[in-house]
Structure 1
Amino acid sequence: MSSQAVKKRDHKSYLQVIMISATFGGLLFGYDTGVINGALPFMSRPDQLNLTPVTEGFVTSSLLFGAAVGAFYGGRLADRFGRRKMILNLALLFFLATLGTAFAPNVPVMVVFRFLLGLAVGGASSMVPAFLAEMAPAEKRGRMVTQNEIMITGGQLLAYVFNAVLGVTLGDIGHVWRYMLILCAIPAVMLFIGMLIVPESPRWLASKGRKEEALKVLKQIRDENRALDEYKEIEEAVKKDEEFKKASIKDFKAPWLRRILLIGIGVAMVNQITGVNSIMYYGTQILQESGFGTQAALIANISNGLISVLSVCFGIWLIGKINRRPMLIAGLSGTSSALLLIAIFSNVLEGTAALPYVVLSLMGLFLIFMQGCIGPVTWLVIAEIFPQRLRGLGSGISVFFLWIVNAIIGFSFPVLLGTIGLSATFFVFVALGIMGIIFVYKCMPETNGKTLEELEEEFRLKYDKSSKVTLIDKVQ
C-alpha cells in the first residue's frame, strides 16, 4: 500500500474518531429526552412524585425550556471559547444534572435539575452539528452531520429498551424510575473522555487568528493539497468577516442575513410542529390511551425507538442522493398523513381490540418519515446555512426556537390528551404539518453540494442587493 493511500486512510480514521466522540452529545440528547417516556408512569405514582397532568407537563417541559436557553447561549459561548472546550463543559453538566434528577426527592427539585440537564441538551443540540459541519469535507458533510441524528435516535432507543427492561423486571419497586434516569451518567463520562482526544474546529481557530493551528488540524483530516485549498477558502471567508464587528443579533438587520435567520428559525420550528415529541415523550401514555397496559406499552414502545434508528440510517443514505428541500417536503407529507390516520382511527375504532395495534403501526409510519427525512435535513440545514462568523449565534437562535416550540408541546400534550382526547389532539398537529409544508415550499433554499463558503457567497449575492425585494421584505 502506498504512503499516500495510508495517509488517506488515516485521515478517514481520524474523522471517524472525531465524529464518534462528538456525537456522544447526541446520544445524551436522545437518552435524556427519551427516558422520560417510560419513567413518567412510575414517577406519577402516589408513593413517588404523585404527578398530575399539569406537574407531568412541568417535569417534561422543564428540560425543554432549559434546552432552549442552552441552545441560544451555547452557540455564543462556542463562538467565544471554542466548540471542543464547550462540549467538554457540557459533558460535565450532563453528569452532574443526571445525578440530580436521579436523586430528586420532590417535584420542585426534579424540575430544577431537569432544567439544568436541559441546558446541556440544548447546548449539545446546537454545538455538535456545527462542530461536525466545520470538520467535514463538503461532499461528506451531509452524512457526517446526520450521523449525530443516529446517535440521538440511538439514545432514545436505549432509553426505551432500559425503560422496558427495568419497568417489567422491577416495576413493583416504586423508585425504579431513578434507575432509568441515572444510567445517563455513563455516556456523559464517555463524551468527556472522547472530546479530550479530538482537535478544535479549524474554522474556529482561523476565525481567532490561530492560522497555523487551523492548517495543522486540516492536514490531520484532509490530504495535503486539499488541506491547503480549503485553508485558502477559510482564510478568504475570515477576511470578509473581519470587516464586521463582533457577532450580535444586530448583524441580522442585513436583508440577506435576516432571511437566513428566519429560514433557520422556520426550519427548526417545522421540525417540532410535526408533533414528533408528543410520541417521543408520551409514546407510552399514547399507547395506554389506545388500549395497552403499562408493561405492554413499555415493550411496544421499543419498536418506535428501533424504527427511528433504522429510519435515520436510511435518511443518511438518502440525503447523499437527493436534495434537501424535496426530502423535507416528502417527510412532512408523510408525517401529516400518518397523524391524520391516527386521528381518524382513534374515532372509528375507539374501544376495539384492534385500536392499540393500529395506533402503534401508524406511530411507526410517522417515525419513518420523521426520522428518515425531516430530522436529518433539519439539523443539517441549520448547521450549514449560516456564515462562519454568525454560525454559532445563528444556529443557537434557530435551535432556541426549536426547543421553545418543543417545550410548549411537551407541556401542553398531556393536558390536551386529558381534555380533548387523542383524536382531536392529532388533528391539531395535522393542521400544523400542512403549514410546515407551505413554508418549506415557499421559503427554504437548496443547500446540497456546496461548501460552507460557497453557500455564504451565494446568499450574499442573491439577497444582499438593495434593489431586490426579498420574500421576507414583502411579508413585512
Structure 2
Amino acid sequence: MHTRKLGMIAFIATFGGLLFGYDTGVINGAVDPMKQDLGLTPFTQGFAVSILVFGAAIGAAVIGRMADRHGRRKTILLLSGIFIVGTFGQALASNWQILSVFRFILGLAVGGASTTVPVYLAEMSPTEQRGSIVTRNEIMIVSGQLGAFIINAVILNIWGSDPDVWRYMLIMGVIPAFALLVGMLRVPESPRWLSDQNRRGDALHVLKQIRSPNRAEAEMAEVDALLEKERKSKTGGVSDLSERWVRRLILIGATLGVFQQFTGINAIMYYGTQLLENSGFSSNGAVIANTLNGVFSVLGITVGILLINKLNRRTMLIGGFFLIALFHVLVGLSSAYMPDTAFKPYVVLVFVVAFVFSMQGTLGPLVWLMLSEIFPLKIRSFAMGICVFVLWTANAIVAFGFPPVVATIGIAPTFFIFAGIAVVGLIFTITTVPETRGQSLEEFEAHARKRYA
C-alpha cells in the first residue's frame, strides 16, 4: 500500500515534467504554420520561441526559492495554474508580441517545474528508491517532447490546411496542466519541508502514508538529525562564494550546463521539423520524420539512466562529447556535399537521430545528476540555482540564435560550429571535470575542498 501511494504521488508530480517536455517540444511543429499565420521574420520567430526559455531561467531561480518558503506542493499547484494561463494565452495570441508575453509566462512555469518537481520527488522518496523515482521526471520530460511531436504530426495531417493549425497544437498542453492541478490537490506536502517548518507531527503523518510505521519513525529521526546538521552548517548562501573551492565548483557546474545546451540539442527539439524540411523532406513528411527525434530521445535517456550507475561520470561525458561532435560533422557534411536526391533527407535524418540518441544517453541526464552531486551541503540549493539559471540562459541563446544563424550561414556551417563546441567540451571534461561516482557526497566534498582550495 505504501509503495502504491508513493507511486501515485510520483506519477502525479511528474506531470510537471511532462508539461516541461510538451511545452518545449510542441513549438517544433507549430513554428512553421505560426510563422505563416503571424508573418514572423527569422528574428521575431527566434524571439517568440526563445522567450519561453528566458522565462524558464527566471522561473528556475525565483520559483525554487518560493518552494523553500511556501512548500513544494503549493508551489506545484501554482505552477499548474501558470501552465494553464500561459497555454491558453499563447494559443489565442493575435500577434507575435502577445504570443511572446504568454510564452514568457509559460516559461516561468517550465523553469519552476524543472527545479521544484525533482526536489519534491527526492524528498518523498526512500533512500534506496530515490534515484529511480527522481529520474522518472527526466523520462516524462522526453516523453512529453515525443508526445508533442506525435500530436503535431496527427493534427497537421488532419487540419494542415487550416491557418490556425498551430493553435490546436499549442492548446493540447492544457490537458496535462489540468491533470497536474487536480492531481496535486490529492497528494501531501513534502515531509522534509514540513519538518523544516517545525511541523514534525504533520511530517510524520505524511511519512506513515508512504512508509511502514517503523520505517516512518526511523526516517523521521534521520530527517531531524539532518535538519539540525544543515541548520548548523548553513551560513546564508552568498557569503560562501568567498571560498575559492566553492566558486570553482560552481564554475564547473555552470560550464557543464552551458556545454550541455550548446551541443544544439534544443535546436533539434525546437526546430527539428524545419531542419528536416530544409534538408529535403516535404512539410508533412518533416513533421512525421521529426517524431523519430522524440522516440530516440526517450530511448537515449532510458539507456543513459541504465548506464549511470555502471560507468564513471567522466567516461560517459567524454564518450558523449565525442559522439556528439562526430554526428554533428556528419550532419554538416551530408547537408553540404550530398547531391539533392530523394535519398539525402533520410541520410541527414539518420545522423540527426544518432546525435539525439547520443546526447540524451550521456550529457542529457548526466549533467543534471552531477549538478546534484558536486556542491557542498550548506549551499547545495543556492549553487544549483545559479547553475540552472545559467543552463536555461544558454538554452535561450540557442533557441533565439538558431533561426537567424541558419538563415545567414546555412545548415552545414551551423552544425560544424556545434561540433567545434563539443570538442571544446571534451577538452574541458578531460582537464577539469571531477569524478563523483563511487563517493558519498561528504567524501566528494572533502576531496573537492582539498583539490580546489
Same fold (TM > 0.5): yes
Alpha-carbon distance in structure 2 between the residues aligned to 1:131 and 1:448: 24
Does residue 420 in structure 1 map to residue 405 in structure 2? no
Q: Quick check: 1:292–1:356 contact (8 Å CA) kept in 2? A: yes
Counterparts in 2 of 1:401-416, with a 5 A limit? 401-416=390-405
2:31 aligned partner, one-letter code: L
1:38 aligned partner, one-letter code: G
CA drift of 1:44 comes to 1.1
CA drift of 1:338 comes to 1.1
Does residue 94 in structure 1 map to residue 94 in structure 2? no
Alpha-carbon distance in structure 1 between the residues aligned to 2:318 and 2:125: 26
CA drift of 1:52 comes to 0.8
2:22 aligned partner, one-letter code: Y
- Secondary structure of 1:351's counterpart equals coil
- Aligned length, in residue pairs: 453
Does residue 29 in structure 1 map to residue 20 in structure 2? yes
- 1:111 is aligned to 100
| Alignment match of 1:235 (pick from 221, 224, 232) | 224
Alpha-carbon distance in structure 2 between the residues aligned to 1:332 and 1:219: 45
Alpha-carbon distance in structure 2 between the residues aligned to 1:227 and 1:258: 37
Q: Quick check: 1:129–1:379 contact (8 Å CA) kept in 2? A: no
Counterparts in 2 of 1:146-225, with a 5 A limit? 146-225=135-214
CA drift of 1:78 comes to 1.4
- 1:3 is aligned to none
Alpha-carbon distance in structure 1 between the residues aligned to 2:313 and 2:86: 36
- 1:5 is aligned to none
1:20 aligned partner, one-letter code: F
Q: Quick check: 2:234–2:379 contact (8 Å CA) kept in 1? A: no
TM-score where L is the length of structure 2: 0.93
- 1:432 is aligned to 421
How big is each residue's C-alpha offset from its partner over 1:100-154, in whole Å with a ceiling of 9 and x where there is no partner?
0000010110111111100000111111122222333333333222211111111
Does residue 458 in structure 1 map to residue 450 in structure 2? no
- Secondary structure of 2:260's counterpart equals helix
1:79 aligned partner, one-letter code: D
1:458 aligned partner, one-letter code: E
Q: Quick check: 1:146–1:316 contact (8 Å CA) kept in 2? A: yes
> Structure 1 unaligned runs (5+)?
1-9
How big is each residue's C-alpha offset from its partner over 1:235-288, in whole Å with a ceiling of 9 and x where there is no partner?
333223223567433333334543443333233222211110110001011101
How big is each residue's C-alpha offset from its partner over 1:195-249, in whole Å with a ceiling of 9 and x where there is no partner?
2222222332333333333344344334455545544443333223223567433
**Inter-CA distance 394–229: structure 2 relative to 1 (3 Å threshold):** farther
CA drift of 1:309 comes to 1.6
2:443 aligned partner, one-letter code: E
- 2:311 is aligned to 322
- 1:340 is aligned to 329
**Inter-CA distance 102–416: structure 2 relative to 1 (3 Å threshold):** same
- Secondary structure of 1:200's counterpart equals coil
Does residue 13 in structure 1 map to residue 4 in structure 2? yes
Alpha-carbon distance in structure 2 between the residues aligned to 1:257 and 1:18: 35
Q: Quick check: 1:130–1:384 contact (8 Å CA) kept in 2? A: no
Q: Quick check: 1:28–1:188 contact (8 Å CA) kept in 2? A: yes
How big is each residue's C-alpha offset from its partner over 1:311-332, in whole Å with a ceiling of 9 and x where there is no partner?
2222232234334332233222
| Alignment match of 2:287 (pick from 293, 298, 307) | 298
Counterparts in 2 of 1:41-120, with a 5 A limit? 41-45=32-36, 48-120=37-109
Return 226-235 or 132-141, whichever deviates more: 226-235
CA drift of 1:444 comes to 3.4
Alpha-carbon distance in structure 1 between the residues aligned to 2:23 and 2:446: 42
**Inter-CA distance 387–460: structure 2 relative to 1 (3 Å threshold):** closer
Q: Quick check: 1:93–1:120 contact (8 Å CA) kept in 2? A: yes
**Inter-CA distance 280–13: structure 2 relative to 1 (3 Å threshold):** same
- Secondary structure of 1:243's counterpart equals helix
CA drift of 1:155 comes to 0.8
Q: Quick check: 1:207–1:389 contact (8 Å CA) kept in 2? A: no
CA drift of 1:165 comes to 1.2
**Inter-CA distance 446–17: structure 2 relative to 1 (3 Å threshold):** farther
| Alignment match of 2:360 (pick from 371, 387, 410) | 371
Return 410-419 or 224-233, whichever deviates more: 224-233
1:412 aligned partner, one-letter code: G
Q: Quick check: 1:252–1:261 contact (8 Å CA) kept in 2? A: no
2:284 aligned partner, one-letter code: Q
1:317 aligned partner, one-letter code: L
Return 170-179 or 126-135, whichever deviates more: 126-135
**Inter-CA distance 205–58: structure 2 relative to 1 (3 Å threshold):** same
TM-score where L is the length of structure 1: 0.89
Alpha-carbon distance in structure 1 between the residues aligned to 2:446 and 2:106: 41
1:129 aligned partner, one-letter code: P
Return 61-70 or 342-351, whichever deviates more: 342-351
**Inter-CA distance 308–270: structure 2 relative to 1 (3 Å threshold):** same
Counterparts in 2 of 1:228-267, with a 5 A limit? 228-243=217-232, 247-267=236-256
Alpha-carbon distance in structure 1 between the residues aligned to 2:321 and 2:368: 15
Alpha-carbon distance in structure 2 between the residues aligned to 1:407 and 1:89: 24
Alpha-carbon distance in structure 2 between the residues aligned to 1:131 and 1:247: 22
Q: Quick check: 2:54–2:107 contact (8 Å CA) kept in 1? A: yes
Report the RMSD for the aligned CA atoms in angstroms: 2.2
| Alignment match of 1:278 (pick from 261, 267, 288) | 267
Does residue 356 in structure 1 map to residue 356 in structure 2? no
